[in-house]
Amino acid sequence: MIKTLIVYAHLLAACVAIGILLIQDLALAKSKGAPLSATAVKDLTKSAEIMFVALVLLWLSGLTLVLLGYLENPQQYLMNEKLWAKFTVVSVLTLNGIALHYFSFPRVTSRRGLLGLPTFEQILVVLTGALSSVSWLFACYLGIARPWNYTVDFSFVMFIYSGLLVGAFIVAGEVLRAMRRAEPEPPMLTEQIRLNASRKFD
């Protein structure tokens, strides 16, 4: 009974985190890199706080489930390489969450907006966002991928994870390029181009 409740809490935390993650990703995509409104910043801040609580709950419930599983089967439980792959992915998303909190979040919520940042910072922001989305989704998949228990190698799982990351990084880069192409030219730059063009005919 206790183990069932812990599994339920684990799944509930994962569902809440994934739901908030997808909603915020969609909201940021709709902003097209422009500065966020005060309401959007407030919503993003609240979502980040909920995500933090969900991550803590996932770690606590996950470690508890590992302990219970080990006590039930101390000979084989820790031999499950998929389990160690899941811990690796969750560790990556945790470290990335720190980067999001201290690096990406302050820049996305600044008055400059994403497209107002230097190019290098724009790239880091979208990469940390892509890494977060893939890591959360893949960690949840590993949680239900029971056929992989004791049947796949750690390297196989991480190879799949790496391939998904590469694909996500490419998509994130293309989205950023599309945002930058759609950004209107600064008025002064547009006026300078017109002046240069008119001088050719003087």
| pLDDT of residue 191 exceeding 60 | no
What pLDDT digit, counting tens, does each position of 91-149 carry? 999 999 999 888 988 888 888 888 888 989 999 999 999 999 999 999 999 989 999 99
Q: CB neighbours (10 Å) of residue 142?
A: 21
What pLDDT digit, counting tens, does each position of 15-53 carry? 898 888 888 888 787 777 788 888 888 888 888 889 899
Confidence of residue 151 (pLDDT cuts 50, 70, 90): very high
Q: Which residue has the higher pLDDT, 184 or 156?
A: 156
What pLDDT digit, counting tens, does each position of 52-68 carry? 999 999 999 999 999 99
Using CA atoms, how far apart are residues 8 and 14, in angstroms rounded to an integer? 10
Confidence of residue 202 (pLDDT cuts 50, 70, 90): low
